[in-house]
Amino acid sequence: MTDTPSITAAQTPPLPFVLTRHPAPKLSFEFFPPHTEAMAVKLWDAVLRLAPLQPRFVSVTYGAGGSTRARTHETVTRVRRETDLEPAAHLTCIGATREEVDGVARRYWESGIRHIVALRGDAPEAAAPYVPHPGGYPYAVDLVRGLKRIADFEISVAAYPETHPEAKSADADLDHLKQKIDAGAVRAITQYFFDVDVYFRFLDRVRAAGITVPIVPGIMPVSNFAQIVRFSATCGTTVPAWLCDLFEGLDDDPETRKLVGATVAAEQCRLLQAQGIDEFHFYTLNRADLAYAISHVLGARPSKGETPKEGNRP
């Protein structure tokens, strides 16, 4: 990686679409557990639609405060039972003692779940400061160590190219990441970002710190721009001016927003591919259409004889 000046994302739009053909990347898709029967149908449709792309794994999130623990378990075990996909369950430190978290982890192992995304987690109330649960795992690094004592899980952890909002400094945040890797995590999945230069500057710092595991870019295809702006303000992701310009005037035009969102995310991934990145993690929001289209642009295709499914009912 060269030490070149960074692009000013607030003023400069992405580079022109890269036309060079690259090998199909490794993919993973993230879903959240359903709250209703209708959402369960939508989720399963999304899983079946993306399954023919043969992702390395699909992950299922954990609600704030552990609020979706049971639904997360139900979803990942259903993926394990009814598909050939490799499921990964999110597990957090929030709202449970070590014994309770360990019990969840053991049940995952007994159900054939071998991959855990280990996270500190967010407080149930967004504005509240994080306070470790009494008797619980204080932070993600402690959770990683605990999981490795239980079984030989494959463990992924989070990374923050623009620094975790609660970190004391960027260096402290990077040190936390290194501790998680040293404790046994085998990959880090980044918070989503929009400026590819942000990712590469972060990757330079990660490698300089001696971290050698894959740092998988987390990609958020944008369909609801106003929602992304609100969420980005809480998680520390910069929304560049050029992105605001692209979605200007589309508040009441969801179909065009989808097309713009797919184009932006595909270009972002192609720019990353052009500099050697061959793995992407898509935050699907339980929608398969954008993730499938972007994956297709990147060269992913269903295996021979398999066609995309429309989904079926639970």
Contact 72, 61 (CB under 8 A): yes
Q: Which two tokens stand for residue 124?
A: 């149930």
Contact 84, 52 (CB under 8 A): no
What CA–CA distance (Å, rounded) separates 21 from 297?
10
Residue tagged active-site, from 30, 86, 162, 267: 30
Helices (H), 209-287: 225-235, 241-247, 254-274
Tell me the helices (H) and strands (E) count for the chain, helix number first: 10, 9
Specify whether 30 is catalytic: yes
CA distances from 37 to 66, 193, 287, 309, 313 (A): 20, 32, 16, 20, 10
Helices (H), the chain: 37-50, 69-82, 98-110, 140-150, 170-182, 196-208, 225-235, 241-247, 254-274, 288-297
Torsions phi, psi for 30 (to 5 deg): -110, 135
From 275, 141, 150, select the one nearest 204 (Cα to Cα): 275
From 79, 76, 74, select the one nearest 48 (Cα to Cα): 79
What CA–CA distance (Å, rounded) separates 41 from 47?
10
Inter-residue long-range contacts of 228-235, CB under 8 Å, 24+ positions, other chains counted: 234/126, 234/165, 235/165, 235/191
Q: Which two tokens stand for residue 16?
A: 């022109």
Region of residue 45 (left: phi > 0; alpha: psi -120 to 50; beta: else): alpha
Residues serving a catalytic function are 30
